[in-house]
Amino acid sequence: MLQRMADEGDRRRGYIEPADGRLGVLMPGLGAVATTMIAGVMAVRKNLARPIGSLSQMGSIRLGKRTENRVPRIRDFVPLAALEDLAFGGWDVYGDNVYEAARNARVLDPALLDAVKPELEAIQPMTAVFDRSYVSNLDGGHVKKAMGKDALVRAVMDDIARFREENGCSRIVMVWCASTEKYIERSAVHETLEAFEQGLRDDDPAIPPSMIYACAAIRMGIPFVNGAPNLTCDIPALIELARDTSTPIGGKDFKTGQTLMKTILAPGLQARALGIKGWFSSNILGNRDGFVLDHPDNFRTKEVSKLSVLKDILRPDQNPELYGDLCHKVSINYYPPHGDNKESWDNIDIFGWLGYPMQIKINFLCRDSILAAPVVLDLALFIDLARRAGMSGIQEWLSFYFKSPQTAPGLRPEHDIFKQLVKLQNTLRHMMGEDLITHLGLDYYQDLVEAL
């Protein structure tokens, strides 16, 4: 019977190119998050540590009915690139190699970094596409010389081609791990590919560096993921380009720390029809990301991303009695003594039966890059899988990893982490020709009861 089900699965399963050869993972921004991910993968390869927090490496997935007891590891179920086959590279406005950058980021123990030092030292950043008018708190000099935006796209494409050649990669993905750019509203230059390409030729200020990297990748059919809240590939022009080149894309803003907690807790409170009057969130953070976000233009980009979460989960428009008066505030304070160890406080004013008020307090002492590193790894592996499975355009099934998930035009993003997980797992089941799981179970409960 199991064999019959497996044969049927094979028939339903679409074609997925095998993960043969090396996968290049290129990251604009080799700062705290990127270097923590790279050093972590090197350490895991040497069996010095475990990839905790990575769903692709540590997570399991139930297949079929509960009675079948089939729960493989995700990495054994879908054909992902092996960690041994990853080659890392990237760009940064500072010339430090990945070992030096990881030491400066002060996230991982020096002893662990020293254990993988030669591998990390070998990764030198390529010169960045950078313009201080988008990130005024940074002033690194490891940048491409002044040229038009159109030429910069071509320069990044040349970098990618060279990296692919030098590292013998059969496939490449790109994940934006660079600083949050200043807030930019969507405007006419973003609306069509034609307008965007003209904008590149005209050096339009509404095209920041992140869009230049994204454009270069997508033109080459290289999957692109945006880990920061910048617009980047969340504009019609680049969605159109992704369609033309059959490229999977996704974003925005890695879901870690406080927002992760929000998307775990808010769906639970909502599920029990408890009301929420206010949610006050504050953070202190002392790493370079915190320094960049200390500038109001860059914080605005982050704030918009962070604020969208609760409204989308709680739907005050549909539940005015429970959430109509919701007051949601978010602040980030740059506080150097804490480094990458972000501390967040949440005060949540809720109300229950007959309107009686209650409070929840959360004090999360987290490590920002420790939470973000596995997210970068998973996104790189899954977006590569998506491409090999012939999927292109916005990969909504990866919303699980984002604070502000990019969706098809007109669709509301799904923020509830549990719904996001169901969607991700069902997408994997679908790719592999397995039954989707609805958690209904009525179809086999009766058989089970009768068999007892």
Q: Which residues contact ligand NAD (rule: CB under 6 A)?
A: 28-29, 31-34, 91-94, 105, 128-130, 135, 138, 140, 177-180, 209, 227-228, 253-254, 256-257, 287-289, 292, 368-369, 371-372
Pick between residue 368 and residue 416 the one whose CB is nearest to ligand NAD.
368
Contact 151, 364 (CB under 8 A): no
Q: Give the Cα separation of 129 and 142 in Å (integer).
A: 9
User: If we measure between CA atoms, which residue out of 89, 215, 93, 195 comes closest to residue 149?
Assistant: 215
User: If we measure between CA atoms, which residue out of 325, 319, 328, 331 comes closest to residue 279?
Assistant: 328
Q: How near is the Cβ of 183 to ligand NAD at its closest, in Å? A: 13
Alpha helix ranges (H) inside 175-319: 193-201, 209-219, 236-244, 257-271, 288-293, 296-314
Q: How near is the Cβ of 258 to ligand NAD at its closest, in Å? A: 9
Q: Is 125 exposed, middle or buried (0-12, 13-18, 19+ CB in 10 A)?
A: buried
State whether residue 331 is helix, strand or coil. strand
Q: How near is the Cβ of 128 to ligand NAD at its closest, in Å? A: 4
Q: Which residue spans within 374-448 are E strands per DSSP?
A: 393-394
Pick between residue 263 and residue 369 the one whose CB is nearest to ligand NAD.
369
Region of 184 on the Ramachandran plot (φ > 0 left; ψ -120 to 50 alpha; else beta): beta
DSSP 35-88: HHHHHHHHHHHTTSS--TT-HHHH-B--BS-GGG-B--BHHHHS-PPPGGGEEE
The neighbouring-strand residues paired with 346 are: 281, 362
Pick between residue 29 and residue 248 the one whose CB is nearest to ligand NAD.
29
Q: How near is the Cβ of 400 to ligand NAD at its closest, in Å? A: 14
Q: How near is the Cβ of 441 to ligand NAD at its closest, in Å? A: 37
Pick between residue 94 and residue 400 the one whose CB is nearest to ligand NAD.
94
For residue 76, what are the CA distances in angstroms to 57, 72, 159? 9, 6, 33
Pick between residue 254 and residue 323 the one whose CB is nearest to ligand NAD.
254
Q: How near is the Cβ of 369 to ligand NAD at its closest, in Å? A: 5
For residue 310, what are the CA distances in angstroms to 120, 276, 351? 39, 10, 16
Pick between residue 253 and residue 434 the one whose CB is nearest to ligand NAD.
253
What per-residue string of b and e applies to 412-427 under the rule 16 or more CB within 10 Å gives b?
Answer: ebbbbbeebebbbbbb
Pick between residue 57 and residue 256 the one whose CB is nearest to ligand NAD.
256
Q: Give the Cα separation of 189 and 124 in Å (integer).
A: 34
Pick between residue 228 and residue 391 the one whose CB is nearest to ligand NAD.
228
State whether residue 253 is helix, strand or coil. coil
Q: How near is the Cβ of 121 to ligand NAD at its closest, in Å? A: 17
- The DSSP output letter for 102 is H
Q: How near is the Cβ of 395 to ligand NAD at its closest, in Å? A: 18
Pick between residue 105 and residue 380 the one whose CB is nearest to ligand NAD.
105
Pick between residue 341 and residue 392 the one whose CB is nearest to ligand NAD.
341
Question: Which residue is at the shortest CB distance from ligand NAD?
Answer: 31
Q: How near is the Cβ of 45 to ligand NAD at its closest, in Å? A: 21
Contact 48, 114 (CB under 8 A): no
Q: How near is the Cβ of 191 to ligand NAD at its closest, in Å? A: 23
